[in-house]
């Protein structure tokens, strides 16, 4: 296994007595899909901001693809790690869709022809090629989020963090974005998703559960999703079929076929 992200003894606090990220140790491998779960305020988003150098750690180190994050390397790190945030309105910086996708590329100082090529390619990928000259106020939330993703895709980073990137979208928009994530992962991009949606966690290779800034669990998706105690501690819910299954078992209900069916459906999310 080749590590893509290595986090050692990472801590961060906004105020003196309140550790938001508390001595986190975590390795994420190349091409892995990792989901970070946790209650509101568990430190999920802070951790993601630390990973791209938007916040500076109090102690500890972060290595991305062998490169240690520091003030000197932060711009090189951002060529390796991209992030999509929850609220599309907070991340639309261009005047038009084309400008917005171009924004990150402009900072990389690549030749104009290459840039135009990339913009077109990634606009097409998120199915926004017909909206290139539209302004943000003419787009729906889902469309804006797709533009934000195209901007990140155009950077061709090795890692993309989706920080509750689908929380504000309608079900159709959510499914669309989720399909992109899967496709990217198949193409070898390391994916980190931060979510409350258990159905989004089912396909992860691994789930990290954060609680009060610490890693509570680090295990396969299967093992976490069936662990009622861990989920309850983190304000999360069991997937519905599992929840029903456990309650039947508690009451000693005998119906093996039904129980097997509930178990199988929970694996599908």
Partner 1 sequence: MAIEFERVSHQYVGVDQKGYLAIEDIRLNIRGDGELIALIGETGSGKSTLVQHMNALLQPTQGRMNIFGIKVDNLTKKRKDVKLTPIRKQVGLVFQFPEYQLFEETVEKDIMFGPKNFGASEADAREKAREIINVVGLDESYLSRSPFNLSGGEKKRASIAGILAMEPDVLILDEPTSGLDPLGRNALLEVFNTIHETLNTTVIIITHDMNTVYEYAKRVLVMREGTLVYDGDPLKLFSKKNIDRWNLDKPEVLALAQDIENKFDIHFDTPPRNKTMLKDALKEALK
- CA separation for the pair 89, 258 (Å, rounded): 45
Cα–Cα distances in Å, from 135 out to 55, 88, 92, 94, 150? 30, 13, 10, 8, 15
Stretch that binds partner 1, among 28-36, 124-132, 220-228, 244-252 (CB under 8 A): 244-252
Q: Is 121 in the site for partner 1 (CB under 8 A)?
A: no
By CB under 8 A, the residues from 77 to 96 that bind partner 1 are 86-87
Q: How far lies 3's CA from each of 7, 31, 173, in Å? A: 10, 9, 32
Exactly one of 240, 249, 263, 268 binds partner 1 (CB under 8 A); that residue is: 240
Is residue 171 a contact residue for partner 1 (CB under 8 A)?
yes
Say how far apart CA 245 and CA 139 lie, in whole Å. 43
Of these, 16, 172, 187, 256, which contacts partner 1 (CB under 8 A)?
172
Q: How far is the CB of 258 from partner 1 (least distance, A)?
A: 6
Please tell me the count of residues contacting partner 1 according to CB under 8 A: 38
Beta bridge partners of 193: 35, 162
Find all residues with CB under 8 Å of 260, minimum gap 6, and list them.
none
Euclidean distance between the first and final Cα of the chain, in Å? 27
Q: Which is nearer to partner 1, 32 or 200 (CB)?
A: 200
264: contact with partner 1 by CB under 8 A: no
Q: How far from 203 is each of 18, 222, 267, CA to CA, in Å?
A: 33, 9, 9
- Does residue number 3 form part of the binding site for partner 1 (CB under 8 A)? no
User: Does residue 235 bind partner 1 (CB under 8 A)?
Assistant: yes
- Distance CA(137)–CA(121), nearest Å, equals 23
Q: Using the rule CB under 8 A, is 17 a contact of partner 1? A: no
247 lines the binding site for partner 1 (CB under 8 A): yes
Q: Does 169 bind partner 1 (CB under 8 A)?
A: yes
Place of tokens 């001595």: 23
11 binding partner 1? (CB under 8 A) = no
Q: How far is the CB of 189 from partner 1 (least distance, A)?
A: 25
Contacts with partner 1 by CB under 8 A lie at 38-41, 86-87, 135, 138, 140-142, 164, 167-173, 196, 234-237, 240-241, 243-244, 247-248, 251, 253-255, 257-258, 261, 265
């Amino acid at each position: 296994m080749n590590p893509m992200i290595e986090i050692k003894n990472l801590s961060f606090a906004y105020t003196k007595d309140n550790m938001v990220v508390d001595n986190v140790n975590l390795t994420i491998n190349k091409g892995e899909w990792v989901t970070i779960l946790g209650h509101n305020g568990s430190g999920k988003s802070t951790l993601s901001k630390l990973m791209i150098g938007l916040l500076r750690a109090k102690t500890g180190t972060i290595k991305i693809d062998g490169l240690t994050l520091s003030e000197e390397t932060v711009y090189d790190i951002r060529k390796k790690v991209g992030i999509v945030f929850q609220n599309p309105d907070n991340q639309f910086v261009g005047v038009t869709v084309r400008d917005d996708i171009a924004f990150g590329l402009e900072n990389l100082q690549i030749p104009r022809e290459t840039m135009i090529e990339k913009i077109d390619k990634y606009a097409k990928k998120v199915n926004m090629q017909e909206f290139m000259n539209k302004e943000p106020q003419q787009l729906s939330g889902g469309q804006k989020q797709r533009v934000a993703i195209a901007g990140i895709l155009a950077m061709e980073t090795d890692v993309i963090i989706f920080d509750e990137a689908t929380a504000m979208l309608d079900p159709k928009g959510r499914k669309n974005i989720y399909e992109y994530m899967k496709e990217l992962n198949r193409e070898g991009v390391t994916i980190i998703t931060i979510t409350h949606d258990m159905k989004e966690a089912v396909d992860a290779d691994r789930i990290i559960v954060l609680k009060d800034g610490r890693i509570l669990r680090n295990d396969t998706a299967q093992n976490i999703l069936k662990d009622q105690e861990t989920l309850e501690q983190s304000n999360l819910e069991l997937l519905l079929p599992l929840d029903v299954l456990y309650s039947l078992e508690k009451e000693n209900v005998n119906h093996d076929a039904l129980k097997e069916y509930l178990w199988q459906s929970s694996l599908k999310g």
